[in-house]
Structure 1
Amino acid sequence: MTLFQEFGITQELAIILAIDLGIAVLLLTLMRYMQGWSAKVNSRDELAVRDNFAFGISTAGAVGALGIVLTGAITGAAAHSYAQEAIGMASYGICGLILIKLGRFVHDKIALNHVDKTAAILKGNISVAIVDAGAAMATALVIRAVLIWAEDLTVNTFIAIFSAFAVSQLMLVVLTRALEIFYRRRNQGHSLQQALEEGNTALALRHAGAMLAMGFTFNAASHFMVYDPTTYVTNLFGWFVFSLMMLLVLSILLWVVKKLVLARIDLSDEIERQQNIGLAAVEMAISISIAVIMTGLMA
């Protein structure tokens, strides 16, 4: 009896696992190089010669995001043939890679439209890099949820995936605008985007935590949606309504929990003006924890 047989792994399953892992490694490698190609720089030079920490954080976010997406691509049962498994894994993986890059473009041009993220990251702006990585991973959490929610490998499946992706990008923009409004009110009209560009890392951690929490709540919303690939408008409207509801519930819960866990601490002053990175990390952990708990309760 072989070791594989002892653990109930057949030769066919082992080959399928090898196919999935091989494609995943290739796509992760491609993502690393795409980071350099999209910024028109040599990724090796940025990471290992210039020691650009910001570029490293941004790349880590992109690679981690693709890894999250790939877990959604390999969650289902094995395909009927090796070729079908390879096509399915590659299709979902490439789709996820494209959507992650598209999401970064949307975030650059619409959400953080007053910041040249690529230029800032190449200059070593760690705050902007953290927000960039957070946006990529939040988008990936959404794509993963949709890949698990969707079934089969058809044109309708990809339409359903793109519909949910479009709603998620709208929610990220709404979230960013809300954070901007609150920040402006507390800081005499000062711009959140300008503060990030000036290097407020604590503020960047808060922003990234909020986006990641939104990504997890989108996963919670998927439990209310019944998959029907042909009802395009219903899918789009359903994702919008449930994701908006989850975002509102999350916002209320976070306000209450932060008041309790971080009682007698002026978060606005500590994070926005004193740039307290440690406290921002605690707030980020609270945001993600509450979102994960919500996801678990809705499952």
Structure 2
Amino acid sequence: MTLFQEFGITSQLAGILAIDLGIAVILLALMRYMQGWSVKVNSNEELAVRDNFAFGISTAGAVAALGIVLTGAITGAAAHSYVQEAIGMSAYGICGLVLIKLGRFLHDKIALNQFDKDALVLKGNISVAIVDAAAAIATALVIRAVLLWAEDLTLNTFIAIFSAFAVSQLMLVLLTRGLEIAYSRRNQGASLQQALVEGNTALALRHAGTMIAMGLSFNAASHFMDYAPTAYISNLLGWLLFSIIMLLVLTLLTKVVKWLVLAKIDLSEEVERQLNIGLASVEMAISIAVALILTGLMA
């Protein structure tokens, strides 16, 4: 009896796992190089010669995001042949890669539309890079949730993926606008986006935590919906409705938890004006923790 047989792994399953791993490694490498191609720079030079920390953070977000998507793409023993597994893994992986890049483009042009993200990242703006990485991860969490929710490899599956993706981008814009309004009210009309441009890393960490938490809340929303392959409109409206509900619940619970955990601390003063990165990291952790708890409860 071989070691694989001891753990219940057949030769076919081992082959399928090898195919998944091989395609995943290729796609992760492709994503890394695409970071440089998209802004017309040499990624090796940015990472290892110029030591551009911001470019590294942005690239890390993209690679992590694709890895998250690929965990939803792996079908494992469900595939009937090596060819079917390779096609499914490649199709979902490439689709995820394209949507991550598209999501970052839309986030740059619509959500954070007051500055040139790529130019600032190349100049080494870590605050902007953190928000960029978080936006990619939030988008990836949504795509992963839909991949696990949908079934089979058909045109209907990709329509469902694009529907949820569209909803997620809308929610990211609404979330950003809401945070901008709140920031402006607390800081005599100041701009949140301008604060990121000026390098407020603490504010970037808080913002990143909120976006990632929103992405996680999509996973919770998927538990309320049954997958209907041809119910295009109801699927779209369902994702929109439940994502709004989960975002409202997440926002309320996060405020309550922050009020309890960080009692007697003026968060606006510390994070927005004193640039307290440590406290912002705690805020980020609280947002993600609340989202994970909600996801666990809904599952």
**SS in structure 2 opposite 1:265?**
coil
Alpha-carbon distance change, 218 to 289 in structure 1, aligned in 2, over 3 angstroms:
same
In the alignment, what sits opposite 2:55?
55
In the alignment, what sits opposite 1:185?
185
TM-score w.r.t. length of structure 2: 0.99
**SS in structure 2 opposite 1:218?**
helix
In the alignment, what sits opposite 2:220?
220
Deviation per CA, 1:73-98: give whole Å up to 9, x if none: 01564311100000000000000000
- Asked if 2 retains the 8 angstrom alpha-carbon contact of 1:108 and 1:117, the reply is yes
In the alignment, what sits opposite 2:275?
275
**SS in structure 1 opposite 2:102?**
helix
- Asked if 1 retains the 8 angstrom alpha-carbon contact of 2:220 and 2:298, the reply is yes
**SS in structure 1 opposite 2:143?**
helix
User: Counterparts of 1:11 and 1:75 in 2: how far apart (Å)?
Assistant: 16
User: Counterparts of 1:283 and 1:8 in 2: how far apart (Å)?
Assistant: 43
**SS in structure 2 opposite 1:222?**
helix
In the alignment, what sits opposite 2:147?
147
User: Counterparts of 1:30 and 1:236 in 2: how far apart (Å)?
Assistant: 31
Report the Cα offset of residue 225 of structure 1. 1.0
**SS in structure 1 opposite 2:80?**
coil
Runs of 4+ in 1 over 4 A off after TM superposition: none
Deviation per CA, 1:239-279: give whole Å up to 9, x if none: 00000000000000011111100000000000000000000
1:1-299 matches, cutoff 5 A = 1-75=1-75, 77-299=77-299
- Asked if 1 retains the 8 angstrom alpha-carbon contact of 2:17 and 2:76, the reply is no
User: Counterparts of 2:60 and 2:76 in 1: how far apart (Å)?
Assistant: 26
Report the Cα offset of residue 25 of structure 1. 0.2
| Structure 2: unaligned runs, 5 residues or longer | none
- Asked if 1 retains the 8 angstrom alpha-carbon contact of 2:46 and 2:55, the reply is yes
Amino acid at match of 1:67: G
User: Counterparts of 2:293 and 2:283 in 1: how far apart (Å)?
Assistant: 15
Cα RMSD of the aligned pairs, angstroms, is 0.7
User: Counterparts of 1:185 and 1:77 in 2: how far apart (Å)?
Assistant: 53
Amino acid at match of 2:42: N
- Asked if 2 retains the 8 angstrom alpha-carbon contact of 1:24 and 1:70, the reply is yes
User: Counterparts of 1:77 and 1:170 in 2: how far apart (Å)?
Assistant: 35
- Asked if 2 retains the 8 angstrom alpha-carbon contact of 1:75 and 1:148, the reply is no
**SS in structure 1 opposite 2:255?**
helix
Report the Cα offset of residue 162 of structure 1. 0.2
User: Counterparts of 2:165 and 2:93 in 1: how far apart (Å)?
Assistant: 15
Deviation per CA, 1:270-293: give whole Å up to 9, x if none: 000000000000000000000000
User: Counterparts of 1:120 and 1:229 in 2: how far apart (Å)?
Assistant: 42
**SS in structure 1 opposite 2:28?**
helix
User: Counterparts of 1:81 and 1:88 in 2: how far apart (Å)?
Assistant: 11
**SS in structure 2 opposite 1:51?**
coil
Amino acid at match of 2:175: L
Amino acid at match of 1:116: D
- Asked if 2 retains the 8 angstrom alpha-carbon contact of 1:16 and 1:78, the reply is no
User: Counterparts of 2:207 and 2:76 in 1: how far apart (Å)?
Assistant: 33
Deviation per CA, 1:118-174: give whole Å up to 9, x if none: 000000000000000000000000000000001011111100100000000000000
Amino acid at match of 1:98: V
Percent identity over paired residues: 81
Deviation per CA, 1:27-49: give whole Å up to 9, x if none: 00000000000011000000000
